[in-house]
Structure 1
Amino acid sequence: MSTSETTPATSANTSEAKSRFSAALDEAKAGAAALGDEAKLRAGQYRDDARSKGETWSSDAKVKSRELAQDGKTKASEALSGLSRVIDENAATLDEKLGAKYGDYARSASRSLQENARRLDERSLEELTEDGRTAIRNSPVAAVGIAAVVGFFFARMFR
């Protein structure tokens, strides 16, 4: 057997191998493209699901925070009214022990607390929020100071 006899057979085998390899490569490329498309589709679905759940959680959080704010407003108003009653009930004792001047101060403070409680009850959360923003804009240093004092007291309470 000479080399000239094996060349056509080898050439045919090489050609067939190249053809099969090329077909396998094309099939692998098509499979990779299909997987890529499926991955994009699933990523889009996951993104949409996450966005939907995020919007649901966000709306639930807004509703809950509004309920908590309303409860807080109601409790603050009740606390001011209760403090006003306690001060008013003790004004007579202050009259007797310290003088009428101090009893009048107590009554004045009681009326002021009662008036603030009434105004708090009458105002909506939106109005109170806007009033707070306005106060912070007008006096940011005082707002930071008040926040620091409140933070200090909360830290001491929960220690």
Structure 2
Amino acid sequence: MAKATTAKPKAKVPAKTTTAAEAQDTVTHTHRDEAKSRFTAALDEAKAGAAALKAEATDRTSEYTTRARGKSEDTLTDAKTKAADLAVEGKAKASDVLTGLGKVVSENAATLDEKLGPKYGDYARSASRSLQETATKLDTKSVDELGEDAREFVRKSPGMAVGIAAVAGYMISRLFRR
């Protein structure tokens, strides 16, 4: 006896139908993708805006720096000119003071001869000549030459320079204290 085999019919797989939940999931996924792309676009736009602001700030900073340098150079030039003018004026006044002091000492040398003796009158005349010579040297030298002479003096005898500065500072402080 032969067995008859019967083939079982295969079950038909129904065509894929989307359920409401699957459709909702697809719509949600589409909205999420759209939101992501919009957010990415907004980030890109914000980055571009920040880069533009940075470039503008850099340009303005450069412009302001250039202006400030120009003004500071002008101010420095003006200050140097004013300082040079004041130094020349101070030199002229110092020379006039030394000349006047020399004349006063010379005029009083005769009185010193009478009251204290000829030795002190000679000291006064010698001091008067020194003051006159110093005033003449001061008149003939430029401010730059005087500055170089002062630097040379400080190099040669720094102790004396410090001592002179201390005495001058003390005298100036006493003068302004009153």
Give the TM-score, by structure 2 length. 0.86
- Amino acid of the residue matched to residue 73 of structure 2? E
- Give the equivalent residue in structure 1 for 2:61: 43
- Amino acid of the residue matched to residue 149 of structure 1? V
Rg (Cα) greater in structure: 2
The answer to whether 1:31 aligns with 2:45 is no
* Equivalent in 95, 117, 140 of residue 99 of structure 1: 117
The answer to whether 1:127 aligns with 2:133 is no
The answer to whether 1:158 aligns with 2:158 is no
- Give the equivalent residue in structure 2 for 1:53: 71
RMSD over aligned Cα, in angstroms? Answer: 1.0
Give the distance between the partners of 1:111 and 1:158, measured in 2 at CA. 30
Give the distance between the partners of 2:155 and 2:74, measured in 1 at CA. 33
Cα drift, residue 2 of structure 1: 2.7
Cα drift, residue 77 of structure 1: 0.3
Seq. identity, %: 58
Residue 25 of structure 1 aligns to a residue whose secondary structure is helix
- Give the equivalent residue in structure 2 for 1:82: 100
Give the distance between the partners of 2:125 and 2:100, measured in 1 at CA. 14
Residue 103 of structure 1 aligns to a residue whose secondary structure is helix
Cα drift, residue 83 of structure 1: 0.3
* Equivalent in 117, 123, 136 of residue 118 of structure 1: 136
Long gaps (5+) in structure 1? none
Cα drift, residue 20 of structure 1: 0.7
Q: Larger helix proportion, structure 1 or 2? A: 1
Aligned length: 159
- Give the equivalent residue in structure 1 for 2:81: 63
- Amino acid of the residue matched to residue 57 of structure 2? A
- Give the equivalent residue in structure 1 for 2:15: none
- Give the equivalent residue in structure 2 for 1:140: 158
Give the distance between the partners of 1:86 and 1:73, measured in 2 at CA. 20
- Amino acid of the residue matched to residue 155 of structure 1? S
Runs of 4+ in 1 over 3 A off after TM superposition: none
Cα drift, residue 42 of structure 1: 0.9
- Amino acid of the residue matched to residue 65 of structure 2? R
Long gaps (5+) in structure 2? 1-18
